[in-house]
């Protein structure tokens, strides 16, 4: 097992992490079934009855406790981010940041801090699928020596709204429509687009949401962002603005819409399974933590407001400085106890990190804490092991539902003088080392009358949306247009589609024209803007395709090898060896789940059955068949679809000469991604975007 940073910290009650974990560890000989009170159970098969066929007795406390607990196994799910997957790991600092932050986590290069990271979709319920077009939550709980720091963000660096007072409206609009209870985990409906078309500030986020960023291939191949502008504060009280970025070491990768839809049908848990299995096989996901740090002078020089959560600072304008890495190396022991009960809150910060006046952030500071009480049933939710700090916790907060600690002594208030009489007086505030809020800069616009108003600096809603769209690769631009056509085609109310098209004209007239043509609608005039649309230099860092972080490696990927009886043993061995040598996982797919007889007479066990292992589950596929095997599979629709989808989803296909008739039947046309088995491992590292115009109509 990897080095566990938890070993160096103590829990809320002073226990080490290992001690807490081992409280439930028993040898098999000691594993007696008990009630929750520790009473051993003699019979877990039958209720206590008055006679063999008599009534059940009320005094059967074993039955009552078991049913009582079962009846309450479900807690209210999160209103948003309900479907999540998580893992334990650690953060390792590259270099000291003591010059800009006094946070202990940022002081010593090479030091590891334990953490727990949860990824999630936003709109769907806990039982929805992993792969809808949706924003992904990216929440990290750092168990630092000074307390818990929660960096709660998304895989997109901006948000739909500028002010937290609009969040309930946004979510109500995006969720299932109130009168009919559908669609689940989808924004392709009237109420969502009605709201978006009436909220121009959402336009930048919509460009991201309609892009490939909301169709990540896996949780391991997406970025994360803190979204808001925060502050770092050093030992002298000097404040520096900061934006946080998570950059995947595995590279960025997405799916194609048709592929996404089919993945949802083939494996609703595709991304959850991928994360779990990657960690189990030791292929630990990694992200680098980067910061954009800047002062007030730089902020004032920008043509937008850094407190506006619908804006980014392009990396070409301010490079991201990598300061450490996150490694996820351990799956939860229990999904409910950890992944479901973990409670993140943006208000959880430590000395050396502070907030800005971002109005969306300010609302989140209240909302998350309030939500935890409803979900977890007690103000003591912080004592649940996954939420408990690994450093000492000492205060005078007492009692409450599910209080787990047992404070000693008379003092439950502060200040007190009981220590003067030799009694335990309890903890005291510490002005020198305790958290102190950064005063920031007292700007003119932070003073004056109490108003419900947006600053003028928040009024430009289209410039960065245009920047994002025009920064994308042409293939990505086509995907944005396709997504908008699909989503708006599901909108039944004509005036909503027209209003959205008017907004899109402000983003890019060509994009608006493509979407209008895809809907067979006339292109309306541009909607009025509150501020002039600015032309900004494109930012190549915003691309996935052809961008600096595009995934172009086999390492960490999954590759399907389709075989049947008679497949060439040497060819099969060579392909599997090449993939595994490059750090990928090769899974053998066959018509039946049992073993396949290869050309040399040896039996090879299949990892998956053809009908249950479509090519959408793999990053690329090899089809290695004999003449007889090919003739058999040409009569099997699942085999034809296996190859057809791989080609249509722009994946590399390696094939034996005998398999060519199957490829021909599937409509595969030769290109640089259609290769011999010997070249498959090299070709499998990428998608073949030049193929796309041949396989689908694009707006």
Structure token digits, residue 595: 């073993």
Mean pLDDT in residue range 206-213? 98
* The residue to which tokens 């008990």 are assigned: 34
Residue 573 included in any domain: yes
For the cut 70, the answer to whether the pLDDT of residue 610 exceeds it is yes
Closest to 465 measured CA to CA, from 244, 223, 221, 210: 210
Retrieve residue 374's tokens. 């409803």
Domain that holds residue 619: 558-695
* CATH code of the domain in which 668 resides: 3.40.50.880
* 165 lies in the same domain as 312: yes
Annotated active-site residue in 154, 331, 348, 380: 154
Average pLDDT, the chain: 92
Q: Are residues 481 and 602 in the same domain?
A: no
Least confident of 20-34, 139-153, 381-395: 20-34
In this prediction, residue 445 carries a pLDDT of 52
| Residue 606 included in any domain | yes
- Band (365; pLDDT cuts 50, 70, 90): confident
Residue ending a domain, among 377, 395, 423, is: 377
The per-residue pLDDT for 45 is: 85
Residue 401 lies in a domain: no
304: CB partners within 8 A, 6+ apart? 311, 457, 460, 463, 464
Quick one: 528 and 645 in the same domain? no
Identify the pLDDT of residue 513. Answer: 98
- Do 130 and 209 share a structural domain? yes
- The widest CA-to-CA distance across the chain, in whole angstroms, is 94
> Do 249 and 177 belong together in one domain?
yes
With bands split at pLDDT 50, 70 and 90, how would you rate the model's confidence at 66? confident
End-to-end CA distance of the chain: 51
Per DSSP, what are the bridge partners of residue 143?
A: 148
For residue 42, being part of any structural domain is answered with: no
Instruction: Answer whether residue 71 is part of any domain.
Output: no
How large is the average pLDDT for residues 615-643?
98
Count other C-beta atoms under 10 Å from residue 348's C-beta: 22
Structure confidence by residue, pLDDT tens digits, 438-472: 886 654 456 667 777 888 999 999 999 999 999 99
Whether residues 481 and 564 fall in one domain: no
Same domain, yes or no: 638 and 494: no
Residues 594 and 660 in one domain: yes
Mean pLDDT is lowest, of 62-66, 169-173, 381-385, for 62-66
**Exactly one of 81, 382, 461, 479 is catalytic; which is it?**
81
Answer with the residue of higher pLDDT: 386 or 433. Answer: 386
Has 81 been annotated as catalytic?
yes
Mapping DSSP onto H, E and C, the string for 347-406 reads CCCCCCEECCCCHHHHHHHHHHHHHHHHHHCCCCHHHCCCCCCCCCCCCCCCCCCCCCCC
Residue 621 resides in a domain: yes
Q: Is the pLDDT of residue 4 over 70?
A: no
d(CA 163, CA 670): 52
Whether the predicted model's global pTM rises above the 0.85 cut: yes
Same domain, 212 and 161: yes
Provide the 8-state DSSP code for 565.
T
pLDDT-derived band of residue 20, with 50, 70 and 90 as boundaries? Answer: very low
Mean pLDDT on 541-570: 97
Q: Which residue has the tokens 């109130």?
A: 178
CB atoms within 10 A of CB 223: 22
- The answer to whether residue 542 sits within a structural domain is no
pLDDT score at 360: 92
Residue 140 pLDDT more than 50? yes
Is the pLDDT at 24 greater than 80? The verdict is no
Q: State residue 10 phi and psi, 5-degree precision.
A: -110, 150
Q: Minimal CA–CA distance to 86: which of 369, 385, 334?
A: 334
Could you tell me whether strands 230-233 and 353-354 are parallel, antiparallel, or unpaired per DSSP bridges?
antiparallel
Q: Please say which residue of 377, 409, 430 terminates a domain.
A: 377
* CB-based contact 290:225 (threshold 8 Å): no
Name the pLDDT band for 47 (thresholds 50, 70, 90).
confident
- Tell me which residue has tokens 């004056």: 448
Check whether residue 527 and residue 596 sit in a common domain: no
pLDDT of residue 57: 85
pLDDT for the residue 3: 47
pLDDT digits (tens, 9 = 90+) for 6-15: 444 443 433 4
For residue 24, the number of C-alpha atoms closer than 13 Å in the C-beta half-sphere is 8
For this structure, is 154 an active site residue?
A: yes
Q: What is the pLDDT of residue 441?
A: 61
Quote the pLDDT of residue 13: 39
User: Across residues 328-346, what is the average pLDDT?
Assistant: 97
CA distance 31 to 39: 12
Same domain, 369 and 244: yes
Which of the residue ranges 320-334, 439-453, 664-678, 681-695 would you say has the lowest mean pLDDT?
439-453
Collect all residues with Cβ–Cβ distance below 8 Å to 58 and sequence separation of at least 6: 64
**Nearest CA-CA partner of 533 in 462, 479, 444:** 462
Q: Which of 361, 377, 393 is the last residue of a domain?
A: 377
- The C-alpha atoms of residue 136 and residue 119 are separated, in whole angstroms, by 7
Give the model's confidence band at 27: pLDDT under 50 very low, under 70 low, under 90 confident, else very high. Answer: low
Least confident of 70-79, 84-93, 484-493, 613-622: 70-79
Do residues 566 and 476 share a domain? no
Is 165 contained in some domain?
Answer: yes
Q: Give the tens place of pLDDT for each residue, 224-269.
A: 999 999 999 999 999 999 999 999 999 999 999 999 999 999 999 9
CATH, residue 479 = 1.20.1370.20
pLDDT score of 376: 92
CATH code of the domain covering residue 177: 2.40.180.10
**Residues of the chain with pLDDT > 90: what percent?**
77
Question: How many domains does the structure of the chain reveal?
Answer: 3
> The tokens 């607990």 sit on which residue?
69
Q: Could you give the angle at the alpha carbon of 465 between the alpha carbons of 459 and 469, nearest 5°? A: 165
Q: Is 464 left (phi over 0), alpha (psi -120 to 50) or beta?
A: alpha
């Amino acid at each position: 097992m990897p080095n566990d940073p938890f070993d160096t910290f103590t829990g809320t009650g002073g226990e080490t992490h290992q001690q807490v974990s081992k409280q439930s560890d028993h040898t098999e000989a000691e594993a007696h079934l008990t009630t929750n009170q520790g009473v051993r159970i003699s019979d877990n098969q039958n209720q206590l009855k008055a006679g063999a066929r008599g009534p059940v007795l009320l005094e059967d406390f074993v039955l009552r406790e078991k049913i009582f607990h079962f009846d309450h196994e479900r807690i209210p799910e999160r209103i948003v981010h309900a479907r999540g997957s998580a893992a334990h790991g650690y953060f390792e600092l590259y270099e000291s940041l003591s010059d800009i932050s006094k946070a202990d986590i940022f002081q010593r290069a090479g030091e590891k801090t334990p953490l727990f990271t949860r990824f999630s979709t936003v709109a769907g319920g806990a039982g929805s699928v992993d792969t809808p077009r949706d924003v992904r939550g990216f929440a990290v709980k750092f168990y630092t020596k000074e307390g818990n720091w929660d960096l709660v963000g998304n895989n997109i660096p901006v948000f739909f709204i500028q002010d937290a007072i609009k969040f309930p409206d946004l979510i109500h609009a995006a969720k299932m429509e109130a009168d009919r209870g559908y669609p689940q985990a989808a924004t392709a409906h009237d109420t969502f687009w009605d709201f978006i078309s009436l909220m121009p500030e959402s336009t930048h986020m919509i460009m991201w949401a309609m892009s490939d960023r909301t169709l990540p291939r896996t949780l391991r191949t997406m970025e994360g962002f803190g979204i808001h502008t925060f502050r770092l504060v050093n030992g002298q009280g000097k404040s520096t603005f900061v934006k946080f970025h998570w950059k995947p070491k595995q590279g960025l990768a997405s799916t194609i819409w048709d592929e996404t839809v089919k993945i949802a049908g083939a494996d609703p848990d595709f991304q959850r399974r991928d994360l779990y299995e990657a960690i189990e096989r030791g292929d630990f996901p990694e992200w680098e933590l980067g910061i954009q740090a800047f002062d007030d002078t730089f902020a004032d020089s920008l043509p937008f407001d850094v407190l506006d959560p619908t804006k980014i600072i392009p990396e070409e304008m301010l490079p991201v400085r990598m300061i450490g890495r996150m490694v996820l190396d351990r799956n939860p022991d229990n999904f409910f106890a950890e992944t479901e009960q973990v409670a993140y809150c943006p208000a959880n910060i430590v000395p050396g990190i502070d907030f800005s006046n971002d109005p969306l952030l300010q609302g989140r500071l209240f909302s998350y804490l309030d939500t935890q009480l409803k979900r977890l049933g007690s103000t003591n939710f912080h004592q649940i092991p996954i939420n408990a700090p690994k450093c000492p916790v000492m205060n005078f907060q007492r009692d409450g539902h599910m209080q787990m600690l047992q404070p000693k002594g008379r003092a439950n208030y502060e200040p007190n003088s009981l220590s003067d009489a030799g009694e335990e007086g309890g903890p005291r505030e510490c002005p020198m080392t305790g958290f102190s809020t950064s005063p920031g800069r007292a700007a003119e616009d932070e003073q004056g009358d109490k108003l419900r108003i947006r600053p003028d600096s928040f009024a430009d809603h289209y410039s960065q949306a245009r920047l994002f769209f025009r920064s994308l690769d042409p293939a990505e631009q086509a995907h944005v247009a396709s997504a908008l056509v699909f989503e708006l085609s599901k909108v039944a109310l004509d005036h909503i589609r027209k209003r959205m098209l008017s907004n899109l004209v402000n983003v890019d007239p060509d994009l608006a024209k493509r979407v209008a043509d895809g809907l067979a609608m006339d292109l309306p005039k541009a909607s009025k803007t509150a501020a002039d649309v600015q032309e900004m230099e494109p930012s190549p860092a915003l691309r996935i395709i052809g961008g600096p972080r595009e995934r172009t490696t086999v390492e960490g990927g999954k590759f399907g090898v389709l075989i049947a009886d008679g497949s060439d043993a040497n060819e099969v061995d060579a392909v599997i060896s090449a993939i595994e040598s490059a750090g990928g996982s090769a899974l053998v797919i066959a018509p039946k789940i049992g073993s396949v007889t290869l050309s040399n007479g040896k039996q090879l066990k299949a990892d998956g059955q053809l009908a249950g292992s479509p090519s959408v589950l793999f990053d690329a596929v090899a089809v290695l068949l004999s003449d007889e095997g090919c003739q058999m599979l040409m009569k099997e629709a699942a085999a034809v679809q296996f190859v057809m989808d791989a080609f249509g989803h722009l994946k590399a296909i390696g094939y034996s000469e005998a398999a060519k008739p199957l490829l021909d039947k599937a409509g595969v046309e030769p290109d640089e991604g259609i290769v011999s088995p010997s070249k498959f491992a090299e070709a499998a590292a990428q998608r073949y975007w030049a193929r796309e115009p041949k396989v689908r109509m694009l707006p």
